[in-house]
């Protein structure tokens, strides 16, 4: 049987490239999405053509009952979980902190942080050798915003990714003796549709001159880092981060 990977928020961008890379390396894949069913089904069809199994599951991973249903569906339709990639996240229009509403701030935290917590909890319950599991790997997709703070643009988003970094480190130490590795990837300026959600679709091109490598990154380049951390090639790596940011 193939190993099984769950990738949250994987109907597009970094998540979709990650799902394709795992599939190309022989993993059965669960594509998770919350809105774009057409994109998820198209990705599922592309993965199935690679000769592995794939399911597409609609679930709002910021809600506990939806996360439980997602993982129960994987249990029933694919089998024993090997890898979790927490990729689901949202970004809102660029604004100074004083212009960010309480509702927006809480939405960002719920979608970006609570989702990571809930999915990690379900994964650990299944993977932990303490619970009779076979071990596994978790990779959390953070952001270089956790380091920069994203002043005048997305302080709320940056704060959420800082929380993801701290949770990644803490969980890694908590479950290291239970056969589970937990690591993170921090993308920098990557060409994805997320920038349009922030009100500036061309943001990467505007800022790429600041990148030491003088260009923006591609989703596949982030996916490669995620896959390495999840794979046995990184068997002695936990509680660590890879910055995929062109030198920033």
d(CA 151, CA 23): 37
Three-class SS state of 215: coil
Q: Give CA angle at 90 (174, 23), nearest 5°.
A: 70
Q: Which of 27, 33, 154, 157 is catalytic?
A: 157
Structure-block tokens of residue 237: 């790596």
Of 115, 123, 163, the C-alpha closest to 143 is: 163
d(CA 37, CA 182): 29
Known catalytic residue at 191: no
Contact in structure between 80 and 134 (CB atoms under 8 Å): yes
d(CA 231, CA 72): 23
d(CA 92, CA 173): 32
Structure-block tokens of residue 138: 């978790």
Contact in structure between 157 and 141 (CB atoms under 8 Å): no
Residues carrying an active site annotation:
157
């Amino acid at each position: 049987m193939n190993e099984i990977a769950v990738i949250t928020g994987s109907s597009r961008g970094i998540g979709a490239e990650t799902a394709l890379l795992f599939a190309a390396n022989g993993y059965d894949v669960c594509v998770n999405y919350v809105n774009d069913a057409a994109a998820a089904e198209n990705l599922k069809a592309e993965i199935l053509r690679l000769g592995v199994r794939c399911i597409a599951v609609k679930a709002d991973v910021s809600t506990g009952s939806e996360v439980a249903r997602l993982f129960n569906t994987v249990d029933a339709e694919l089998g024993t979980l090997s890898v979790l990639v927490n990729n689901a996240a949202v970004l809102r229009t660029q604004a100074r902190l004083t212009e960010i509403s309480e509702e927006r701030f809480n939405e960002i935290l719920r979608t970006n942080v609570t989702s990571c917590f809930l999915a990690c909890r379900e994964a650990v319950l299944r993977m932990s050798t303490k619970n009779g599991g076979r071990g596994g790997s978790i990779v959390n997709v953070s952001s270089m915003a956790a380091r920069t703070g994203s002043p005048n643009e997305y302080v709320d988003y940056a704060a959420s990714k800082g929380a993801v970094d701290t949770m990644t480190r803490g969980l890694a130490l908590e479950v290291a003796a239970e056969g589970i590795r937990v690591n993170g990837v921090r993308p920098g300026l990557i060409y994805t549709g997320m920038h349009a959600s922030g009100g500036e679709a061309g943001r990467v091109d505007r800022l790429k001159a600041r990148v030491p490598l003088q260009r923006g990154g591609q989703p596949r380049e982030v996916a490669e880092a995620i896959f390495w951390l999840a794979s046995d090639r990184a068997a002695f790596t936990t509680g660590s981060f890879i910055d995929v940011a062109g030198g920033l």
